[in-house]
A and B are shown apart, each in its own frame.
Chain A
Amino acid sequence: MLDALATPSETRTRPILEVKGLKAYYQMNYFGVQREVRAVDDVTMTISRGEIYGIAGESSSGKSSLIKTIAGAIRPPLRVVEGSVKFDFGGKTLDVYADPARMKAARWQHLSYIMQGSMNVLNPVRKVKHAFHDFAYKHMSLGEGDFRQRLVSHLERIGLDPRVLESYPHQLSGGMRQRLTIALATVCEPEFIIADEPTTALDVLVQQDVLALIKDVQRRMGSSIIFVTHDMTVHAAIADRIGIVYAGRLVEEGPTLDVFQQPQHPYTAHLIASLPRIGDLRKRKALPGKPPNLSEPPSGCRFHPRCPLAIDICKTENPPLETRGTGRVACWRAGEVEAA
């Protein structure tokens, strides 16, 4: 009801995505043994219209589970335990886990997804054009001929020969397939695009190309993008804001430039310090230890066993995510971190 009362200006300023207290756990029960892996643990975040938001973290930090949960792309044994994910499409609120039918209808029209391992997202035994037809045709209210025209011009804009529509996925190179997925994800000009490691499987040159393409498409359509990658250089290249995930929790968040220049969390500081810089020949310091086992996370701040700044309170109390400067951070010693 509230949605209907929102004024146009409010609609514009309201965030397109609101995640509140989201908890998603892998819950397994097999042969009497119960296990719970807290892959997403109490994450709260918002994303505004037209924003590119990057999520960073080590592998198995839960960043991929977070983005899958936001996309409504989880399957058992991963389940949402608490919290909500709400999109705001055209002034109407869409609760991902409360209204599956509307969520399904919104897919691709308002919300598209670029999956990790994009090499295999197209059906190997059908021609590429069928994928476009299955995903997009019903949202575009065009006749067959017009739809085809639209596809051709869309592909040309993305730099793909429209003849790819008549080929099978195995006949195309990795870079072409990645471009195709982006073409597929953008053909309906959705308001929100979720991208899970969109460039990880590509070689460096193609990566640059694809990043430029994503950014270009985003600028043209004014969509919001949330994307995950462990590669900090990619974040530096395209994200407006980044969030750092450690052991299933959001530990720091802020405008990209600020986070890179002045990280507030010791873990962020480490991530940034380990980036190579031209002319800097110093040996990078490796962080001791491994990311924690999420089925038995450490008490208190989950980073404390590896943290160079850990004090007693870190071992017992979990630091809350609090606003500090231009961003938010969850650390008891947030002020004392310096970029190395």
Chain B
Amino acid sequence: MNGFAKYLVQRLFQFFLVIFLGVSLAFLITNLSPVDPVEQSVALMTNFGATDPRAVELMREALAELYGLQGTVLDQYLSFWGRVIRGDFGPSLSAFPTPVMSLIMSALPWTIGLLTLALAISWSLGNLLGALAGYYRSNLLLRLSGAAVMALHPVPAYIIGLVLLLLLGFIWPVLPISGGAQMNLQPGFTIDYIYSLILHGTLPALTLVLVGIGSWFISMRSLVSNIVTDDHVVYAELGGVSSGKIFSQYVARNALLPQLTGLALSLGNVFGGAVITEFLFNYPGVGRLLIQGIYRGDYSLVLGVTTMSIIAVAVAVFIIDLLYPLIDPRVRLS
């Protein structure tokens, strides 16, 4: 087996392992909890006024079946896998009878769009600044901008988002602070709608960019300051190769490879930031769905979103893993 095939098999194995462990973990957490989801949901519904004991009993049975809580633990585990594979998490309790899956599917494009855009900006900007700062160490402007993004780096997404919301939503109200687009507009490829999308997406995206950029900056700068002492860079300097070319083709290009792996490794974390940001800006993605589900005690929605986000992150990681050999000849041609 050549190196490339071996790499592929390895990544594929890892991909399935992540999904297997993640889905099992989700099952385990719900199964080990002292709280019975059926009782919890029944209590929630009786709060709304349905008190007929017979109706409650019927509902109890229906819910137990719905949640796959009948039979032994192994039966329940297998039936959970069955539901994951079919993509059927039952109806949402808080938006009865809409299936959880269709709620997730309508929220997913928002999250994917927001995350992709924010990641693309923070990754490329952070890496560019970090690489420049690592190569041109004495440049004052780079040092100052580096200090700024690094100071933002440890602050959690919620705090950065809240400060942006206060600054650009209240003190100087230039941007909408809630929702994914203007309510009264018909979704479609119209200029008005797209403009509204951009406007509404700015604050959430800016939050995620500011949260993410620092870590790319820091890791890229340290990668670059290590690479500049590598033999091939020193040699190119002795060869009189222009410093612009050395920076782009001998330093930054090589440092980007581990950064792509870093992107795959950080997706789980980035997704977490998106959950919080979406909630803060009432952005209609899966993160807001998840938190609303928690507030409303919607068991099937919370379990569905958690499971699906584990799978979605695993898929995204796998896609990046597949792209990696395209830019690293050492994996492609060994």
Contact = CB atoms under 8 A, between A and B. Distances in A.
A115 interface: yes
A126 B328 CA distance: 9
Contact of A168 (B232, B237, B333): B333
Nearest to B257: A125
B239 A168 contact: no
Interface in A89-136: 104-109, 112-113, 115, 117, 120-126, 130, 134-135
B329 A122 contact: no
B230 interface: yes
A4 interface: no
B238 A125 contact: no
Contacts of A123: 232, 236, 249-250, 253-254
A13 interface: no
Interface string B226-246: 000111101111111100010
B238 A115 contact: yes
B334 interface: yes
Nearest to A135: B239
B254 A134 contact: no
A125 B329 contact: yes
A71 B330 CA distance: 32
B253 A125 contact: yes
A171 interface: yes
A113 B241 CA distance: 13
A113 B240 contact: no
A73 B231 CA distance: 12
B137 to A, nearest CB: 11
Nearest to A126: B249
Contact of B232 (A71, A106, A124): A124
A90 B15 CA distance: 63
A219 interface: no
Nearest to B334: A170
A184 B249 CA distance: 18
B331 to A, nearest CB: 10
Interface in B212-265: 229-232, 234-241, 245, 249-250, 253-254, 257
Contacts of A104: 240
Nearest to B329: A168
B134 to A, nearest CB: 15
Contacts of B250: 123
A138 to B, nearest CB: 8
A121 B235 contact: yes
Residue of A107, A108, A123, A130 with most partner-chain B CB within 10 A? A123
Contacts of A106: 240
B253 A115 contact: no
A209 B7 CA distance: 37
Contacts of A126: 249, 253
A117 B239 contact: no
A171 B232 CA distance: 16
B232 A134 contact: no
A173 to B, nearest CB: 14
A73 B234 contact: yes
Contacts of B239: 107-108, 112-113, 134-135, 184
B232 A135 contact: no
A120 B230 contact: yes
B231 A125 contact: no
Contacts of B230: 120
A208 B330 CA distance: 30
A180 to B, nearest CB: 12
A268 to B, nearest CB: 30
A331 B6 CA distance: 62
A96 to B, nearest CB: 12
Contacts of B237: 73
Contacts of B235: 113, 115, 121-122
A109 B235 CA distance: 15
Interface string A155-189: 00000000000001011000000000000100000
A130 B328 CA distance: 16
Contacts of A72: 238
A120 B333 contact: no
Contacts of A130: 249
A30 B236 CA distance: 29
Nearest to A106: B240
B330 A125 contact: yes
A75 to B, nearest CB: 8
Contacts of B245: 134
B249 A168 contact: no
A84 B234 CA distance: 22
A120 B230 CA distance: 8
Interface in B302-334: 327-330, 333-334
Nearest to A185: B239
Interface in A193-247: none
Nearest to B233: A123
B232 A120 contact: yes
A117 B231 contact: yes
A127 to B, nearest CB: 8
A135 B334 contact: no
Contacts of A134: 236, 239, 241, 245, 249
Contacts of A75: 229
A125 B333 contact: no
A121 B241 contact: no
21 contacts: A75-B229, A107-B240, A108-B239, A113-B238, A113-B239, A117-B231, A121-B231, A122-B232, A123-B232, A123-B249, A124-B329, A125-B254, A125-B327, A125-B330, A126-B249, A130-B249, A134-B241, A134-B245, A135-B239, A170-B333, A171-B333
Interface of A: 71-73, 75, 104-109, 112-113, 115, 117, 120-126, 130, 134-135, 168, 170-171, 184
The 10 residue pairs across chains A and B that have the minimum distance between CB atoms: A107-B240, A120-B231, A121-B235, A135-B239, A168-B329, A113-B238, A123-B232, A134-B241, A121-B231, A104-B240
